[in-house]
Amino acid sequence: MYNRKLNKNIISFTHSILCTVIAYQNILQDLPNYHLLYNFSFGYFLWDIIYILINRDYNDLMFIYHHIICLLALNSMINNNDSEIINKVFFFGEASNFFNYVVYHCIKLDYLKKNIIFLKILQFLWFFYFRMILISQTIYEEFNNLNNKYFGYVLLSIHVLSFLWMSKQFKKISNYLLN
């Protein structure tokens, strides 16, 4: 049975995995291929923006803001502006999303509540580790090294969204556990 939202979730998960692999390869290589990450992610973010607008998924409007910031970051990266830092943040950011897709898929397929609660806790801890610890540490250590401080502040706005998302997830997990 075709389910538009589940298919979109699978596409997003696939992007997240492949983006993480590409960004990790860039971290390991002496001559990173930032253009591969740019081309792959540019296509995905553009597709998702169009998808949100065409399908009038108004609950996903914040993703348009997120995607535009990511597109600006990717553009900056391939123009040799803060490339290593941007690649590192992409690596942590995309890796942090893995369990978001798994949890969404399990909820839509009506998995047992106890399994979903376990996955939501795992999702929360995974996201916390990558976003709140690793990305926060990267921003703290690298902010003064950024060539484009304005971009740094815009990037911080995305990081604030991570804190808001964490707060929302914490409340959901608390409600699951209390009910």
- CA angle, 23 as apex, 18 and 27 as ends, to 5°? 145
| Tally of domains within the chain | 1
Per-residue confidence band for 2, with pLDDT thresholds at 50, 70 and 90: low
- pLDDT tens per residue, range 28-76: 998 999 999 999 999 999 999 999 999 887 788 889 999 999 999 999 9
The alpha helices in 29-148, defined as continuous H runs, are 34-54, 61-78, 83-96, 98-108, 113-127, 136-142
Per-residue confidence band for 177, with pLDDT thresholds at 50, 70 and 90: confident
Question: Domain range holding 158?
Answer: 4-178
